[in-house]
Amino acid sequence: MLEVTGLSAGYGQVEVLHGLDFTVPKGQVVALIGSNGAGKTTTMRALSGMIRPRAGSIRLNGREIGGLDSHDVARFGLAHSPEGRRVFPTLSVEDNLTLGAFPRLTGSRPKGDVAADRARAFELFPRLKERRTQLAGTLSGGEQQMLAMGRALMLRPEILLLDEPSMGLAPKLVEEVFRIIRLLKAEQVTMLLVEQFAMAALGVADHAYVLENGRIRFQGPAQQMRNDPAVRAAYLGGSH
């Protein structure tokens, strides 16, 4: 589904990613974990076109999308729920969701039934349904996270990128978010999940990659990595 080879990217003079290789098979959840500054969000941004890769290739279903602008990447079915949620604060919950389907409404992607998908989103996130006409900027952090995920799903994406969904959320809400991720997993939604909090991510992913200083340190089935001391060392230092 998503094949990344030799990805290098950075900001200005700084190269943050030094040749990453990873894949996200169809229907699976892959986690990218690592401490802050390791390059997780930079990876997401390179995938969704927010920054331009300096080297390497990104193939979505065989098509090369590396270097495209984000609106083109969305057209090809990559939905990115960004770090910090970034919902549109002066638009209503409903409008936010509708905008998630923008390429479908303007002919860049097969249209399908947008209204039905919106109704589905409200089923999945009942709290959003209660607040459908409320301005997104007035929602709580947890609700905004739901909205960001729902908005990304409105694209009917080939792959869903979730960037630090638990950031800034209280533990109860983190549980809620991961319950939803599990639901989506059951529906075979292909996901790439970036999380600072390794444990939560490893609990829901099939496969995981540990990022450190812009390189993949090691990878493996998520189950196996849950108790691996090497994971803890990647975050808190100490012997590797």
Partner 1 sequence: MAQTLAPAEAPAPAAAPSLSRHVGLLGAVLLVVGLAVFPHVVTSSYYVHLMVVIAIYAILILGLDIVVGYTGQVSLGHAGLFGVGAYAAAVLFLHFKLGLWWGILAGIGVTSAFGVLLAVPALRVTGPYLAMVTLAFGTIVQIFINELTPLTNGPLGITLPPARVLDFSLIGMQAPWGAAGRKLEFYYLVCLALLATILVVNRVVRSPYGRAFEALRDSPIACDCMGVSVYRYKVYAFVISAALAGLAGALFAWSERYVAPNSYGFELTVLFLLAVTMGGRKSRAGPIIGSAIIVMMPNVLADIALVRIMAGIIALAALVVGSLAFLRRQENRFALLVPVGLCLAFFPATLLLESVTDFRLTVFGLMILFVVYYLPDGIVGFVREKIPALRPAHTAEGKSLHAEGAALSAQSGGAGADPLLTVDQALMQFGGLKALAGVDLTVRPGTIHGLIGPNGSGKSTMMNVLTGIYRPTSGSVTLARGQGSKRLDGRTPSEIAAAGVARTFQNVQLFREMTALENVLVGLHHSFRGTLFDAILGTPRRRREEREQRARAMAILDFVGLGALAQVEARNLPYGKQRLLEIGRALALDPVLLLLDEPAAGLTAPDIAELTTIIRKIRDAGITVILIEHHMDVVMGLCDRVSVLDFGHKIAEGSAREVQADPKVVEAYLGSPVADEETAHA
Partner 2 sequence: MAILLQLIASGVAVGMIYAAIAFGYQLTFATSKTLNFGQGEALALGALFGLTLVPFIGYWLMIPLVLVFGFALGAVVERLGVRPAVKIKSEYGWIMATIALGIIFKNVAENIWGRDDLKFPSPLPETALQVGGVRILPMELLIVAGALLMMLAVEIFNRKSIWGKAVVATSNDIDAAGLMGINTQKVITLSYSISAMTAAFAGVLVAPVTLTGATMGSVLALKAFAVAIIGGLESGLGVIVGGLILGVAETLTGFYISTGYKDVPGLILLLVVLSIRPVGLFGKAVIKKV
Q: Is residue 13 a contact residue for partner 1 (CB under 8 A)?
A: yes
Residue 85 or residue 131: which is nearer to partner 2 going by CB? 85
Q: Is residue 144 a contact residue for partner 1 (CB under 8 A)?
A: no
The total number of residues written for the chain in this structure? 240
Binding partner at 230 among partner 2, partner 1, none, C-beta below 5 to 8 Å by kind:
none
As given in the structure block, the two tokens for residue 20 are: 């990453």
User: Do 96 and 136 meet the contact criterion of CB atoms below 8 Å apart?
Assistant: yes
Place of tokens 């974990």: 33
As given in the structure block, the two tokens for residue 12 are: 């200005």
Cα 157 from Cα 153, distance rounded (Å)? 6
Q: Is residue 197 a contact residue for partner 2 (CB under 8 A)?
A: no
Q: Is residue 238 a contact residue for partner 1 (CB under 8 A)?
A: yes
Taking each helix axis from N to C terminus, what angle separates 141-153 and 171-186, rounded to the nearest 10 degrees? 20
Pick the piece of the chain touching partner 2 (CB under 8 A) from 32-40, 52-60, 93-101, 208-216.
93-101
Window 95-134: residues binding partner 2 (CB under 8 A): 95, 98-100, 102-103, 105-106, 108-109
> Which residue among 10, 49, 150, 214 contacts partner 2 (CB under 8 A)?
49
Pick the piece of the chain touching partner 1 (CB under 8 A) from 8-16, 109-117, 125-133, 154-162.
8-16
Question: Contact positions toward partner 2, by CB under 8 A?
Answer: 48-50, 69-71, 74-75, 79-80, 82, 86-91, 95, 98-100, 102-103, 105-106, 108-109, 151, 155
Question: Contact positions toward partner 1, by CB under 8 A?
Answer: 10, 12-16, 35-37, 164, 166-168, 171, 174-175, 178-179, 182, 195-200, 203-204, 223, 226, 231-232, 235-238
